[in-house]
Chain A
Amino acid sequence: MDADEEDFVFYGTPIEREEEMTSRKKKAVAEATGQMRALPPWKQEVRDEEGRRRFHGAFTGGFSAGYYNTAGSKEGWTPRSFTSSRKNRAEVKQQSIFNFLDDDEKAELEGRSLGTSLQFDTFGFTAAELARKQAEKEQQKRPSAIPGPVPDEIVLPAANSIGVKLLLKMGWRHGHSIRDAHSNSLYDVRREARKAFLAFSSDDAKTSSDQSEPVIRDHETTIEQPNDNIYSSQSTPVYVLHPKQDLHGLGYDPFKHAPEFREKKRQRVSGRDISMSESLFASRSGKVAPGFGIGALEELDVEDEDIYASGYGFEETYVEEVEEPSKMSRDHKQIMGKNEEGILPGFKVASKSDYQLERFDPPVIPNDFKPHHKFASPLEVENKFTEPPPLEVPPPEDNNMKVLIEGFATLVARCGKLFEDLSKEKNKSNPLFCFLTGGKGHDYYARKLWEEQQKRNDQKRQQMNLKPLPTEKKLTAESRGKILGEKPLERSLRDSDSSVTSADFLHLKINLSDTFTKPASLNEFLEAAKPFIDDPAKQERFELFLKEKYQGGLRSTDSGGSSTMSEAERARERLDFESAVEAIEKGGHSKGTNLSSSQQFLELSTATKLQFTSGGLEQVKSPQAEELITKKMYPKREEFQWRPSPILCKRFDIIDPYMGKPPPVPRPRSRMDTLIFTSDSVKTTKAEDTATTNRDALPLSQLEPEDKKFEITSMETVVDSNKENIERPVDLYKAIFSDDSDDEGESSSANQVENPEKKTEVANTTLNRLIAGDFLESLGKELGLEVPPDPVDSINKASTTASQKESLRASTGCVKHQPADVKSSSILDDVNKPVRTQEAAYGNISLLQIKTGSSSNGNNLDYANPQNDGTQVNSTIQSGGNSSKVDLGKMDPDDKRVKTCFRQDQGWKSSESSDDERSRRHSSRHRSQNSSSSSEDEQVQKHSRRHWSRSSTSGSDSSDGPRYRDHSRSKVEKKGSSRGKSSSTNRNKKHSRHRTHRNGDSPSSSSRHGTERRRHGEAKKEKRKSKDHGSSVSSKYGSHRKHRRDER
């Protein structure tokens, strides 16, 4: 909060609020006091006490009403003189359409309203209208018991013109034409009635009506004629409006460009439409208001009229006189009566009808037709008597066979020898029917046939005796069914006895199949291909299926499958058959050999087998097969990589197998974290990409540390990674090396110069740690404490810092203090080992790191003489750069998270690191120019100052405060001890030693993964820290502190 407030300048005293303000309220208040005040009125936001933006309504200003939510105007608030609302009541505004019209629309509207002037107001419409208005006006003025406007019905001004009056007296009514059309008796009758009804002179009417007057007729006023000849008056049609009868848009003329069709259409339509419309409109005009519920085609007939007939006819038109309702109804009734004969009222009989129901004569039955089929050869009734009965033969053991034979025998007995011959021919190749041709079961068949024939003959004779020609006399449904071989409708019985059913079923099937004539194609099919030849039962079913398919008739419920099959199997088989048929059909088209079609089928069946888990030819043993398959399939073993968490390993007392490997992307803990990490993960994958590219560039065979190759590949990867993420900074190693290896690594330094901004936070934080001593010192200076300048030290400093860096690098590289050659040999061993697949990605990186590690180790060992072997160092640099580059990608998550800094520790780190980056850049440039100690010192000071200022100003994160303080406190604490450069160097050395020590106790397996392990170590430390302090502390910070503690 303190840091927060430093940024703002406050005027006045903040309003104190109660404690129970919600956070949102607080925020609102804070904003109101802090931000809003300073803003100009058009930028201010109005919020309510809950902190929400005030919403005035979508159409009344949205979030801003009035003049930027104020009551004023741009000129300010202008007071007006007071007007009493008591005197000036708010007027009730009467809205009219004019309120909503634009000016041009109003003008348009003004010219629109047409009306007859009083002069020409023949029918008094305008007068009536005027009168009504007048009445309304009067009514409004007059105090009335009934508030509101009087219903129009009550106020009925009699404002008929004299002409109307006269006409009405003459017998004319509204909606009727004035004409001479009373030739028929009906009209006379009506007229007589009217005459009687009216108390006016009939003579006048007669005379007037006798002379055929001009007919006033508009589209509504054509009266319908009871009979069919349409009345057309002699009068001049004044203005004929055509009713809109089509569904086109207004003014649209479909025949505009083809007028010849218009005539056609009219002709076509006229026959019925005109009469209809006339009748409709005529009847409607007078009696019934055009309203809802009456369709265009509905005739207003008896029911409609009867309602009004009983009492007074309420007319809608005001001017119309109520006149002879009873008569009207009678008229209509009479009309109805006239129209009755098979024609809808309002319709007339068409002279010639376009549409005729096509009727076909029933087929002529030839005289000699007999309603059931007979085979050409006579039933061998008589001659069978003489034949000696075949031997009694035991039925074949195959029950199916037995059933088949029996069924067939019955059939043959009924249909005659010809059928046997036919089927013999047909099923020549079918092994199932081998009993016909004298194969297995032939004896039994012969016997059975004989028996059946005997039976049949007996029956015949009986029938003959009892009633001659029973079948021809009475053909009941049952008997017909029997003849046709239909199943009797005894479903339940069938179901209950399945064994009988199957037998019956077969009978029926055969009967069925043979009663109907087969199409030729079916026979072809059967001969062409027997796709299930190895499974006779199935083949049989297939044939049945085919028969059903091609004959169409009488499909049984359990089509095709045997009764033992399950529903699923049946369905599958059906599909199978379907495909088989298709295949055969295809083959049939080519009409090639049987072979080809069957081949085709086989193909198809295999295809289906692929499609359905089991099927095709192994249908019968499918359950077992499935079981087998499942047994074969399960149990299925798979292996995955799984990373136990380090603590788990610890708790299980097991060495973490992934020790030293970079931790997986941490599990997001909160929504915030997820947000933060999403970007990181993307970056991580990028880094992974880099890794893979690296691997690609470096095949396993090349893993021998050949400097040249190494250099090239590493260069490549550097370039690659640069390309891939431009903003990714140059790695730690480069950063470190570039300082004191300008003379050596030309390429790296060039790179450095090229991308001066590419500095990683990691690098900088390490550097930060590295120059912590300097930092502390400078801090001391900053705080006004004397730090005695030590010229000797400063002279030494160049070398010491270099060495310091070396050691640090070594430490960060997690290289053990082991002889380099041993290291490298072990590395080689590792390399030669087949890299496990899941670690493949890491393998090369680690190798690179190892390389780096070893070389840097070498460096470390002889840091006393900085003049190293040129090429060696060069390669080191580059390989180091490469590896750490790759590595950095992985590290990125941490560092990026740092940037977003929701956790305290990282908040600090971020501010510092980004800051460091700058200073770092600075320093590197400086160093490239001259590596004198003084410049560095300066720079460190700069850095520290900047850091200080930054943390003081930009620590928007309030949680930064304590940490920072902690940090500074530690600095202050340290101050005393960290006087000399040497001491700080020492400390750093110690630190590094400590680090390496820590890493040293980790198992050798992990030593392969230099940097990663370092990270792991840090993570570990972090965990420990977190345990110690309850909150997770930045690893770097943590290590820093740790180091301090160690020192102490």
Chain B
Amino acid sequence: MSASDLPRKEANVLRGHEGAVLAARFNGDGNYCLSCGKDRTIRLWNPHRGIHIKTYKSHGREVRDVHVTPDNSKLCSCGGDRQVFYWDVSTGRVIRKFRGHDSEVNAVKFNEYASVVVSAGYDRSVRTWDCRSHSTEPIQIIDTFLDSVMSICLTKSEILAGSVDGTVRTFDIRIGREISDDLGQPVNCISMSNDGNCILASCLDSTLRLLDRTTGELLQEYKGHICKSYKLDCCLTNTDAHVTGGSEDGFIFFWDLVDASVVSSFRAHSSVVTSVSYHPKDNCMITSSVDGTIRVWKT
């Protein structure tokens, strides 16, 4: 993919959130997207047509992260109210509330089978919750982190989590190992490459770091944006050719994966770009910002 194919054209602006939008996520097939924000709501959109479909209200405080099952039937969300909510997408009702985190929950993800919700919280723990049973107790609590856990990624057999203590920890369920990659800088967000071999970690020293997952080697560093105090998302494009991420000055940056040069950067929002999500298949991207908008970018 050449640089010209990067989604730089604003296709839609999704307005509706009152206040900052903290996360925007494509669903599994990229037809819909979910956003959540400080207005304590989760919103479901069709980003391609720019339609707001549904609002999910139940959170008592800001919603920090949301994730949807691959079959689009369930949602999970988390936020400042220290709970993980398990929603039914169609009815918009909360199926279960997982309580147990001692403080704000930063990130939440379903596993592949949507049987487990994994949440990461400010209480330095990663907790896994069972969606199959009626238990609201966590299946497992991973509390080896030394500081707030900001972001998680799941593979078929691993839980990856990035923490402010500067580590990206991989919990391999298959071999029962915890692999800790210390980056030396607070990790804000982690994102997996589509081939699953690399992990992109956004650090608070305004650097994105690409790590090789098998060896823990630092492959590349991406600089140019500002990321010093906000939780800013980063991700790789669908082809793994570029790295993209927001900046605190409202810019979106595209780096070349290999030579780490800034391929493109443009001002997308008037304020901090909190979240970026790349379409799984197309050259399409959504970004959310503190300015309350979600923008859809296409080539």
Known contacts A635-B182, A667-B141; A642/B176 CB under 8 A = yes
How far is A657 from B175 in the complex, measured between Cα atoms in Å? 6
Known contacts A648-B140, A652-B156, A654-B157; A639/B180 CB under 8 A = yes
How far is A649 from B175 in the complex, measured between Cα atoms in Å? 10
- B124 at interface (Cβ–Cβ under 8 A)? no
Task: List B contacts of A637 (CB < 8 A).
Answer: 179-182, 215-216
1/0 contact string of B171-185 vs chain A (CB within 8 Å)? 111111111111111
How far is A654 from B113 in the complex, measured between Cα atoms in Å? 12
Least Cβ distance of A267 to chain B in Å? 75
Whether A635 contacts B211 by the Cβ 8 Å rule is: yes
- B209 at interface (Cβ–Cβ under 8 A)? yes
Closest to A667 in B: B141
A635 CB contact (under 8 Å) in B175, B178, B218: B218
Task: List B contacts of A648 (CB < 8 A).
Answer: 116, 128, 139-140, 173
Q: Which 10 A-B pairs have the closest CB atoms?
A: A637-B216, A642-B178, A634-B184, A657-B176, A636-B182, A645-B140, A640-B178, A651-B115, A644-B173, A651-B116
How far is A652 from B154 in the complex, measured between Cα atoms in Å? 10
How far is A81 from B132 in the complex, measured between Cα atoms in Å? 81
Whether B176 contacts A651 by the Cβ 8 Å rule is: no
Whether A643 contacts B176 by the Cβ 8 Å rule is: yes
How far is A642 from B161 in the complex, measured between Cα atoms in Å? 14
Whether A634 contacts B177 by the Cβ 8 Å rule is: no
Closest to A636 in B: B182
A639 CB contact (under 8 Å) in B128, B132, B178: B178
A residues contacting B by CB (< 8 A) are: 630-631, 633-645, 647-649, 651-655, 657-658, 667, 1027
How far is A644 from B140 in the complex, measured between Cα atoms in Å? 7
- B111 at interface (Cβ–Cβ under 8 A)? yes
Task: List B contacts of A642 (CB < 8 A).
Answer: 142, 144, 171-172, 176-178
Least Cβ distance of A842 to chain B in Å? 13
What are 21 A-B contacts defined by CB distance under 8 Å? A634-B182, A634-B183, A634-B185, A635-B209, A635-B211, A637-B180, A637-B181, A637-B182, A638-B180, A639-B177, A639-B179, A640-B177, A642-B172, A642-B176, A647-B140, A648-B116, A648-B128, A651-B115, A652-B113, A652-B173, A657-B175
Task: List A contacts of B175 (CB < 8 A).
Answer: 657
B residues contacting A by CB (< 8 A) are: 111-113, 115-116, 128, 130, 132-133, 139-142, 144, 156-157, 166, 168, 171-185, 209, 211, 215-218
Closest to A659 in B: B176
Whether B130 contacts A630 by the Cβ 8 Å rule is: no
Whether A635 contacts B181 by the Cβ 8 Å rule is: yes
Task: List B contacts of A636 (CB < 8 A).
Answer: 181-182, 184, 216
Least Cβ distance of B139 to chain A in Å? 5
Known contacts A652-B156, A654-B157; A635/B216 CB under 8 A = yes
Inter-chain pairs besides A636-B216, A645-B139, A651-B113, 14 sampled, C-beta below 8 Å: A636-B181, A636-B184, A637-B180, A637-B215, A640-B177, A642-B171, A644-B140, A645-B140, A647-B140, A651-B116, A651-B130, A651-B132, A654-B173, A1027-B133
Least Cβ distance of A15 to chain B in Å? 41
How far is A931 from B112 in the complex, measured between Cα atoms in Å? 59
B176 CB contact (under 8 Å) in A633, A644, A647, A667: A644
Whether B183 contacts A635 by the Cβ 8 Å rule is: yes
Closest to A634 in B: B184
Whether A652 contacts B216 by the Cβ 8 Å rule is: no
How far is A638 from B142 in the complex, measured between Cα atoms in Å? 16
Whether B218 contacts A634 by the Cβ 8 Å rule is: yes
Task: List A contacts of B185 (CB < 8 A).
Answer: 634
Whether A654 contacts B174 by the Cβ 8 Å rule is: yes
Least Cβ distance of A837 to chain B in Å? 12
Task: List B contacts of A658 (CB < 8 A).
Answer: 176
Least Cβ distance of A367 to chain B in Å? 71
Least Cβ distance of B34 to chain A in Å? 23
How far is A722 from B184 in the complex, measured between Cα atoms in Å? 49
Least Cβ distance of A1038 to chain B in Å? 18
Closest to B171 in A: A642
Task: List A contacts of B215 (CB < 8 A).
Answer: 637
How far is A640 from B112 in the complex, measured between Cα atoms in Å? 25
Task: List A contacts of B115 (CB < 8 A).
Answer: 651-652
